[in-house]
Amino acid sequence: MLLRPDAKLLFIGDSITDAGREPMGEPSPWGSPGLGRGYVSLIESWLLATRPQDRLRVFNRGTSGHTVLDLAARWQTDVLDLKPDFVSVFIGVNDVWRQFDTPLRTETHVLPERYEQTLDTLVAHTLPALPAGPGGLLLATPFFIEPHRADPMRARMDEYGAIVRRLATRHGVHFLDTQAAFDAVLAHVHPMALAWDRIHPQPAGHLILARAFLSSLGCL
């Protein structure tokens, strides 16, 4: 079991993590989506329902449109200053997507070398601040909800996923292959059943993510 009682869990990423969260990024007492309406909220709900005695506090620090460079710019205030016990880093979709949807705006592109260097620096800078060291950090791959690996954007996303795997191995941290989680379902359903744009999951897609994260956390 990775999560100890009274632990603070922080999830950081892009719009897939954001999922319409409120600025505070924590559960709201008024029924509004403080944690958003995505996988982070599902994870928090599962933990509250199954481990209420452990008082696990969840933070959502996803921001729509962000790349790994944006995460680096806000890392101190959105991660380190909160002194989390566990950090999940789920970034890379926009780093890849901008290369395809705005190919001429090259200043928005985060190419593989810069992606790897930046993420590597963030991990190295964060591990000393975590009580459990490498055991308190998880790196999740970006995904593209497209079963055909020859699709150019799917192939590019897999390239960035391989970088995440390599960094997880290098630093000895937890690794989650979200692409594999979706591929298992895509063997049976069309991508549009999970995400109309093959990026932003519908409820079933967020449930796929939540299950994958919870399994990685040893909570299923």
The CATH number of the domain where 116 resides is what? Answer: 3.40.50.1110
Residue 59: domain span: 8-216
* 32 a catalytic residue: no
Catalytic residue among 32, 148, 197, 215: 197
- Cα angle, residue 43 at apex, residues 195 and 145 outer, rounded to 5°: 20
Q: Which pLDDT tens digit goes with each residue over 9-59?
A: 999 999 999 999 999 898 887 777 899 999 999 999 999 999 999 999 999
95 neighbors 153 (Cβ within 8 angstroms): no
Catalytic residue among 15, 41, 88, 216: 15
Is 102 part of any domain?
yes
Is 123 part of any domain?
yes
pTM: 0.96
Is 2 part of any domain?
no
Is 175 part of any domain?
yes
Q: d(Cα 3, Cα 86) in Å, to the nearest integer? A: 8
* 15 a catalytic residue: yes
Domain count of the fold of the chain: 1
Mean pLDDT, the chain, integer: 96
Catalytic residue among 171, 174, 200, 206: 200
Q: Which pLDDT tens digit goes with each residue over 129-176?
A: 999 999 999 999 999 999 999 999 999 999 999 999 999 999 999 999
Residue 178: the pLDDT is 99
* 88 a catalytic residue: no
